[in-house]
Amino acid sequence: MSELTPTACTILSEEESAFRDAVREFAESTLKPHAAEMDQKQAMNPEVVQACFEMGLMGIEVPEELGGQGGTFFQAVLAVEELARVDPAVAVMVDVQTTLFENMLLNWASDELKRELLPRVCEDTVAAYCLSEAGSGSDAFALACEAKEDGDDYVLNGHKLWITNAQEAGLFAVFATVDKSLGHRGITCFLVERDQPGFSVSKKEDKLGIRASSTCEILLENVRVPKRRILGEVGKGYKVAIETLNEGRIGIGAQMVGLACGAFELALNYTGERKQFGKAIRENQGVQFQLAEMATRIHASRLMVYNAARLRDGGHPFTTEAAYAKLYASRTAEFVASEAINLHGGYGFTKEYPVEKFYRDAKIGQIYEGTSNMQLQTIAKALIRGGHRP
């Protein structure tokens, strides 16, 4: 496919359609029975995590010879979307594992590290991506976490915040600076095991949404990391993170599309069942207009996400398209989830109906992996440079 049109990017091959359908069936049969309980307990059910591994969802793009499924980035995006239709918390666990951590290893790890680590993260080891700190959010590389060279090792000290998958993870990609005076050129990525001395998972955040997904603080106190566990090269962590996050934003866009679909389907079904004045409320034109607006925004969001994913798989530039996708899909998710609650009336405001969870889960889409303002900045820079036109 040399050029992507607004319709071509949503056409699925037979293989992609079969894959999507299999993930949808998995989400309905395996995730849905646990979603409400996991949200209430603020914990991922270990059986659900294990099922994701057994389904092959934790290693979609990894080559088969390294333990994965040998699939495409687009398939990973499809999986995240379908999981988010049922539970966005499980979707983000898979998203971090695939579009962030594993892609980072595939693109930057030595052959030795690939052979050592990729089979683990495909088979049974959850991974986490540790970039954010108290003083570095949107300014992601104002890092205080330090790494000092000591013989064949680096010694890491500092702490990280907002680390997704931290409660479940056994392997962590930790970004630290080897020399603060070098600015972003000192940033380096280290691969750290959970059981290394001095490494600990601390406070677990009590969140508004995606509550089953663990978000924790990470503490590093004289954690020794062998030089062979550096991802890429010393000082290349900035490039590693930027390129990986650009891909990850497409995954978050897919999560938001799936979330919006889940909320929309609940609203569509409820408005067909709920009767007022002797007829189903979706027979009223006003309700029909609400449903049509919701569906239109979902469709537009999916076009953006799929287009960005197709561009990435095709080896074309996709940074601006990823920003479009994440920005619009996250806004769509919040809008659709809010409208779905409105269409449920008073029931939508209660936990008796699952739609309120989608509304709580939607908000994070405009915050993590680059806030909406950061996406706007990325888009604006592309427009001003003159290399991009809408």
Residue of 81, 168, 321, 369 with catalytic role: 369
Q: Which residues contact 370 (CB under 8 A, 6 or more apart)?
A: 138, 245, 249, 323, 326, 378
Q: Which residues contact 142 (CB under 8 A, 6 or more apart)?
A: 133, 135, 136
Q: Are the C-beta atoms of residues 362 and 289 closer than 8 Å to each other? A: no
Q: Are the C-beta atoms of residues 365 and 334 closer than 8 Å to each other? A: yes
Paired residues of 146 in beta bridges: 157, 177
What is the identity of the amino acid at 358? Answer: F
Q: Which residues contact 338 (CB under 8 A, 6 or more apart)?
A: 359
Query: Catalytic annotation on 369?
Result: yes
CA angle 338, 306, 324 (to 5 degrees): 65
The secondary element (H helix, E strand) that includes residue 225 is strand 215-226
CA-CA-CA-CA torsion sign (281, 283, 289, 295): positive
Alpha-carbon span 227 to 296, nearest angstrom: 51
Paired residues of 369 in beta bridges: none
Q: Are the C-beta atoms of residues 259 and 208 closer than 8 Å to each other? A: no
Q: Which residues are catalytic?
A: 369
